[in-house]
Amino acid sequence: METHNLTYILEFHLLGFSEDPDLQPVLFGLFLSMYLVTVLGNLLIILAVSSDSHLHTPMYFFLSNLSLADIFFTSTMIPKMIVDISTHNRVISYVGCLTQMSFFSLFGCMDDMLLTVMAYDRFLAICHPLHYVVIMNPLLCVFLLLVCVFISLLDSQLHNLVALQFTCFRDVEIANFFCHPSQLFSLSCSDTLIKNLVTYLVGAILGFFPMLGILFSYCKIVSTVLKIPSSVGRYKAFSTCSSHLSVVCLFYGSGVGVYLASAVSYSPRKGMVASLMYSVVTPMLNPFIYSLRNRDITSTLKRLHHCRV
């Protein structure tokens, strides 16, 4: 395969879901609808939390920030893909590719970190209810949010620093519908040691440690809830974290499960499906999970609807 020097690469070519002209209007309508549902659904969550003083608690504080991160996360990919489908042009500039990769890493990491912090919040609320208000004070909530932002920025800049070291590429075809970091790294003909180190480091930051923290929190939660003598009390305790647990399972299950299937028999299509699941489908379903399984959010949204009517 021909090696391209960086000085001659001004753009990359993204792989679309289909080259069939008859399917382009269908794909355009599908992804536009998914994007609008994602943005509107998450904006409703933010509106509900900000407008109801009863929802000014640590759990809903992190939830509203998760919704905001989901909006930006999806916006880094879907608008570009919608434009590509409508213009029949899947070209992205070198600078645009690095920018998209940077924002994808930033807001994807934010999602991951916020889900971990929310698991810690539920752990304190259920396992240490008497000390919860003292521990999860507004100062600590802001501090944890800033830690999430700092780690996300560090991850994003780490990807950029590595990508900027590339001096040549094997190809200009990216086998995805956006500039996924792993896809861009795989095209580089530079030293693989640095790429592998960054890949494993980021995998540990975004995968192993957050999942370990979430598993530890829920092991403690389950152990504490099972000690509650009343079945009603156990149900109430589990219901406070059921929405978060559903989102965690959807986020990690879709990403890890599809990627494991792709590793057995990899193909660009399977890689795109994996990316679509955790970067588009999961942010779109999050508002439905939290609104349908959460009475506080549901009642606030109904109240806002009646006020507008």
What pLDDT sits at residue 307?
A: 65
**pLDDT bracket for residue 62 (50, 70, 90):** very high
What pLDDT sits at residue 234?
A: 77
**pLDDT bracket for residue 1 (50, 70, 90):** very low
**pLDDT bracket for residue 265 (50, 70, 90):** low
Top-confidence residue, 83 or 231: 83
Mean pLDDT of all residues in the chain?
81
Q: Is 221 left (phi over 0), alpha (psi -120 to 50) or beta?
A: alpha
pLDDT digits (tens, 9 = 90+) for 80-115: 989 888 888 888 888 888 899 899 989 988 998 999
DSSP-derived secondary structure letter, 26: H
Global confidence as pTM: 0.87
Q: Is the pLDDT of residue 241 over 90?
A: no
pLDDT digits (tens, 9 = 90+) for 4-45: 554 456 778 888 777 777 788 888 999 999 999 999 999 988
Phi and psi at residue 169, to the nearest 5°: -130, 145
**pLDDT bracket for residue 244 (50, 70, 90):** confident
Task: Give the residue ranges of DSSP H helices in 78-137.
Answer: 78-87, 94-127, 129-135
Asked if CATH classification 1.20.1070.10 holds for the domain at 7-308, the reply, yes or no, is: yes
- Closest by Cα among 138, 70, 143 to 109: 70
What pLDDT sits at residue 69?
A: 93
Of the listed ranges 30-34, 43-47, 181-185, 202-206, the one predicted with least confidence: 202-206
What pLDDT sits at residue 89?
A: 82
What pLDDT sits at residue 256?
A: 66
- In sequence order, the 6+-apart residues with CB closer than 8 A to the CB of 187 are 169, 170, 171, 172, 174
Domain boundaries, the chain: 7-308
Rounded mean pLDDT, 236-241: 76
